[in-house]
């Protein structure tokens, strides 16, 4: 039951990517569910201060030893089992999402913080999934993922155009990631497509299921 609840916390693109996770599924599930929960806190916050308070709780938990954290939250418990020692990347993810609580339009610094949070998570996933040599390419996938979300969730035209401009250098070539990082191939590939199409949703159109299937099977 806990796994089902956590899967439901993942954004749709992350749930699709989980199908390619293999033996490290819980590692990916913890990362994607955290990203989904934090993202909903930020995007659904009626007041920035309330969102910041909720994010501060998570940041505090990642600063404590696993044995000092409260028990009973399936996500926090899974993070304790699968991400012990890698919490710095999770804190950067939280920091990145917090930047989106800034006044709009987002500044270049705010956008860079969000991108850095997703890129840091992707690098940490490469390391913890046993493919540290692919960290740079994983970081590129995380950057594409962040830029696509910045374009999709833009609240002003300038935000969308800034994300698309920043994506030019990253969206030229297909990602080349090892099999152990196939979920990043799926998300990064769909994000690259989204950006090349002007910031369309990562999934939901007629072709996206077939592209996701191809990425899951072959990586590109």
- 105 prior amide bond cis, ω within 30: yes
- How many domains does the chain contain in total? 1
Given a cut of 90, whether residue 23 has pLDDT beyond it is no
CA–CA gap between residue 43 and residue 154 (Å, rounded): 11
Q: How confident is residue 174, by pLDDT bands cut at 50, 70 and 90?
A: confident
46-82 residue pLDDT tens: 888 888 999 999 999 999 999 999 999 999 999 999 9
pLDDT of residue 37: 96
What residue numbers bound the domain in which 55 lies? 2-218
CA–CA gap between residue 135 and residue 91 (Å, rounded): 18
Q: How far lies 219's CA from each of 24, 140, 141, 182, in Å?
A: 17, 14, 12, 6
Reduced 3-state DSSP string for 90-121 = HHHHHHHHHHCCCCCCCCHHHHHHHHHHHHHH
Query: Angle at CA 193, nearest 5°, toward 189 and 199?
Result: 125
Kindly report the number of other CB atoms within 10 A of residue 208's CB atom: 19
pLDDT of residue 2: 56
10-19 residue pLDDT tens: 999 999 999 9
Q: How far lies 50's CA from each of 45, 47, 71, 137, in Å?
A: 7, 5, 23, 35
pLDDT of residue 3: 79
Q: Give this prediction's pTM.
A: 0.94
Closest CA to 21 of 220, 182, 202, 158: 182
Please tell me whether residue 159 adopts helix, strand or coil conformation.
Answer: helix
Closest CA to 202 of 148, 144, 146: 148
Q: What is the dihedral of CA 180, 182, 183, 185, to 10 degrees?
A: 140
Residue with tokens 């300038």: 158
pLDDT of residue 77: 95
**How many CA atoms, within 13 angstroms, populate the side-chain half-sphere of residue 212?**
21
68-121 residue pLDDT tens: 999 999 999 999 999 999 999 999 999 999 999 999 899 999 999 999 999 999
Q: How high is the mean pLDDT of the chain?
A: 92
CA–CA gap between residue 178 and residue 36 (Å, rounded): 24
Closest CA to 51 of 110, 109, 98, 105: 98
Given a cut of 60, whether residue 1 has pLDDT beyond it is no
């Amino acid at each position: 039951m806990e796994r089902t609840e956590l899967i439901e916390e993942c954004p749709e693109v992350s749930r699709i990517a989980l199908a390619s996770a293999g033996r490290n599924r819980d590692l990916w599930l913890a990362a994607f569910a955290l990203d989904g929960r934090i993202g909903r806190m930020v995007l659904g916050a009626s007041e920035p201060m309330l969102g910041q308070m909720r994010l501060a709780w998570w940041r505090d938990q990642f600063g404590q030893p696993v044995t000092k954290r409260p028990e009973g939250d399936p996500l926090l418990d899974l993070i304790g089992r699968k991400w012990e020692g890698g919490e710095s990347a999770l804190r950067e993810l939280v920091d990145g999402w917090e930047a989106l609580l800034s006044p709009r339009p987002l500044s270049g610094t705010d956008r860079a913080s969000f991108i850095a949070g997703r890129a840091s998570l992707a690098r940490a996933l490469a390391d913890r999934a046993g493919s540290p040599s692919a960290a740079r390419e994983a970081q590129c996938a995380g950057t594409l993922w962040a830029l696509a979300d910045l374009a999709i969730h833009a609240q002003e035209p300038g935000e969308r155009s800034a994300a698309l401009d920043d994506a030019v250098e990253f969206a030229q070539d297909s990602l080349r990631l090892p099999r152990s990082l196939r979920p990043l191939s799926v998300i990064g590939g769909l994000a690259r497509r989204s950006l090349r199409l002007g910031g369309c949703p990562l999934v939901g159109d007629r072709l996206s299921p077939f592209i996701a299937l191809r990425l899951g099977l072959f990586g590109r």
